[in-house]
Amino acid sequence: MTDHEASTTGVRDGPRANSAPAPGLTNSAAANPPGASGNIRDEEDSMAGEPDSPVKDKNYNLITVLQLSLHHAWMLDQYVKDAESQGDDELAKWLHRIQDNNLKAGEQGKQMLLKRLQYENG
């Protein structure tokens, strides 16, 4: 692959020698991935696929799942339309049920977050 092809496709033939660690990781964190220490908390973070974040608070996971639920509901709208346009009613109905579940989870998450923020702010 030429440098031009790599730059236009974003694909390279291998790791760059001077590549920086992924966002949120220091060089030592990149060299020692979560879980390498044998610490259970590190292994849980590794399973979640995210490094420790200094911005996490007690509502962080709630906000993250709320955002993901609503994002998936939005994405599923297109998948339902695609299935319907292809005449696949079985798939469209199944995707629509999943979308409804994501919307329900999103609404529940918003109500839970609202209660928590009102409690925290008096």
Residue 66 has a pLDDT of 96
For residue 73, pLDDT beyond 60: yes
The tokens of 13 are what? 């033939």
Q: What is the pLDDT of residues 14-54, one digit of tens each?
A: 433 444 444 444 444 444 444 444 544 545 555 566 667 66
Place of tokens 């001077």: 18
pLDDT-above-70 percentage for the chain = 56
| Burial environment of residue 95 by CB neighbours within 10 A (0 to 12, 13 to 18, 19 or more) | buried
Query: Does the model's pTM come out above 0.85?
Result: no
CA distance 40 to 54: 19
Q: What is the DSSP letter of 19?
A: P
